[in-house]
Every structure is written in structure tokens, then in C-alpha cells.
A and B are shown apart, each in its own frame.
Chain A
Amino acid sequence: MAAAHDEDDHVGARRLSRREEIAWYSFAAVTYVAAGIIEKSLLNWIVGPLWLVAVVWGGPLLVDRVRGRR
């Protein structure tokens, strides 16, 4: 399926710039480490990967919605 914009992917979601990507991955890492130190049960192979996917998927969506970008 053709993307609507060059920066859009196969489902029409916005691709992140390198800088945005670094910011979201860093945010995910810092929050997960902090949460994991406080609540060790979060440090497992299900929550850890899901944490990253949720932040990188949902974070930009939320920011775009707040800014009224999409």
C-alpha cells in the first residue's frame, strides 16, 4: 500500500526522526529502570519488551494528539 506521505509508514503512521527515536527510547529506558528499581516484579521478559513498544508506539501518538498535529 502506498504511503500518504514520505514520512508515513505502511499503516499511515508517522515515522520518527532520528532525534525523536533517541528521545523516546531514552524515555522508555529511564522510566523502565526507575519503575523496575521501585517495583522489581516489573523486571520481567513480558513487561520489559511491552514497555518499550508501548512508549515508542503510544508516546508519539499522544504527543501528536496534544499538539493537534494529526
Chain B
Amino acid sequence: MSWAAHQFEVYAVQAHLPKKMRGKVSFWAIWLGDFTPDFLSKFWVYGITINGRRYGAGVPQQWHRGWPGMGFTHTLFAGLVIAGALWLWRRNRALTVGYLLGYAAHALTDVNDSVGTMLLFPFSTLNWTLETWAYAATKSGGKYLDAAAYYSSLGLVMDLFWMFVVLGSWRVLTREHWRTSVVPADPHVWSWLGRVMPERALLALYRATFFYGLCRMVAWSTWAHLFARPEIGGVTRRGYPFDFSWTGPGWLQARTLPHVSPYIVLPVTIALLAVAYWSASRLWEPMGRRDRTLAVDG
């Protein structure tokens, strides 16, 4: 799974919208679309322990990304269905398109771990994975081992990549961008919040997901490499060792599910990303003609 990458990609999507959509796609819809897959499935992956007894998924990767399981939450199909329902309910293209793009970003980013996602669900229940780093959520290791493995592997590089994508488009984090592009696309939400919150708090709220991604990346990495005392191969070590090899770290067995050949995953993923953007772009004007919010405003 990906960690801070999912927080950073919300801003990356916001920063790289097609020109005609800039200032018109809901930031909160992108945020919700990007967070929905894990909202629906992740709570049971690590499980909870009450009175010494663990309640959670028996096979975390099967629950999280497989079928049967909640793997359908990490598919473009689920994103399309929910976005379609949103459109039928609200007739609001800012919400619908934002949600779909956020959802697609999450589902496509997660092809990088060794479990991957069911990209062609419901036509196929095979997972699509690039095996870039090890999926490490286990019953015994829980969140700590997962974090240690992720931040010792190319997962850390993935987080840094997305962070630099956002920093490369740093204007997306500025007050000016928030005022001119983010607020106008979500006027009701921001004006409702603005009834009690000062501008500096509203702006902090907009930046808060980036802040959270950055801080959790630093905190978990620092803990894993400076404070943790893991026992690996019968030896107690000072911090988990880095291993930037493919499907690393090698000190842990990567979890997996039946999947397609990794060699076809990258071109298909890029193609699906392009299709998602192209479809959103093509549907933008037709949706605008049926948009209730625009009709009222107009």
C-alpha cells in the first residue's frame, strides 16, 4: 500500500487538472475520492485488539485488495459507480469529476505494491501489480511492521516522488491559489466553514492534508530507522535496514495475490490514467449543460 503518496496526490491532481477545469473542480471531492478506497477497507486490515484478542482480517491482503474481499474498493469500476451515483444525486460536475479523478489516482498508485489492485474488475479479478515494493500488512506485524517495511523500501521513494511533484507545482499550496482556484470550486463548503473559522484556519485546513502526509512520512521514517529495535534473522538491530531493491525490503516476505505479468502493468496503468483524464475532459462540457448548480447560478 502507499502511505503519504495518497495525501500528496490530492494536490498533484489539483495542480494538474486540464486547463478548462482549473478553478472549477472541487478540492474536497478529489480528497474524498482519494480517501474513499481506504475509508471503506483499511480499518480491518490491521484490525483492533481488545482485551488481548485481535479482531481483523485473517488474510489482510485478500481483504484489502482481493476478491472475495474488499478489493473492489480499489478499482476504477467502483470509482465510476460512486461518481455516477454522485452525478445522479447532485448533478454537480465539480463534485463528480473531482471524485472520479481522486479515486482513480488512489487505485492506480496502489498498483505499485506487491499485491496491487484489480484494475479490470469486474471483468477480471486478477490483480495488477508492478511489485515495486512489498505489501507488508500482516496479522502479527500490524501497522508498525507495515510502516517500517514501506519506509525502508522504494515506498519511501514513491512518497518523495509525489511530494516533489506537488512542490514542483508549489503554487497549489499558496493562499493565492486557494483563493482563486479552490474556494470558487467549493463556495458553499468554504463559506459555511468561514462563518466561524478565520482565513488562516481555512487556509491551514486546505493545506492540512499535505501537512499530514509530510509529517507522517518524517515521523514513521524517523521511528523506523532511529528508534525501532527490530529483531531480524535472530539479531536485534538499531533501526530497520534500508533496502531499495525491487519488491524490497528483502528482510520481509512480500505478500501477494494471483496477478497478471508485471511487464504489462505500467503501460496499461498509464493508458487507464490517460483514459480517466480524457473521459473527464470530454464529459466536462456536456455535464456543464446539465449541471444544476450552474443552471441556478446562471
Contact = CB atoms under 8 A, between A and B. Distances in A.
Contacts of B200: 9, 13, 15-16, 21, 56-57, 60
A11 B201 CA distance: 11
Interface stretch (B20-28, B58-66, B212-220): B212-220
B194 interface: yes
Given A53-B204, A56-B204, A45 B199 contact: no
A52 to B, nearest CB: 5
Interface in A31-70: 32-33, 36-37, 40, 43, 45, 48-50, 52-53, 55-57, 60
Contacts of A50: 208
Nearest to A50: B208
Nearest to B38: A45
Given A13-B199, A33-B222, A53 B208 contact: yes
Interface residues of B, number: 27
A36 B201 contact: no
Nearest to A45: B212
Contact-residue size bin, chain A (C-beta under 8 Å from the other chain)? 20 to 34
B270 interface: no
Interface in B127-182: 143-144
Interface string B219-233: 110110001000000
Interface in A1-39: 9-11, 13, 15-16, 21, 25, 28-29, 32-33, 36-37
A28 B216 CA distance: 13
Contacts of B214: 29
B45 to A, nearest CB: 14
Contact of A40 (B144, B199, B207): B144
Contacts of B198: 9-11, 13, 57
Contact of A52 (B212, B218, B220, B222): B212
B201 A48 contact: no
B32 to A, nearest CB: 12
A25 B219 CA distance: 16
A37 B227 contact: yes
B209 to A, nearest CB: 6
B205 interface: yes
A37 B223 contact: yes
Contacts of A55: 204
Contact of A48 (B144, B212, B222, B223): B212
A53 B144 contact: no
Given A36-B215, A55-B204, 6 more contacts: A10-B198, A11-B199, A37-B223, A43-B219, A49-B209, A60-B200
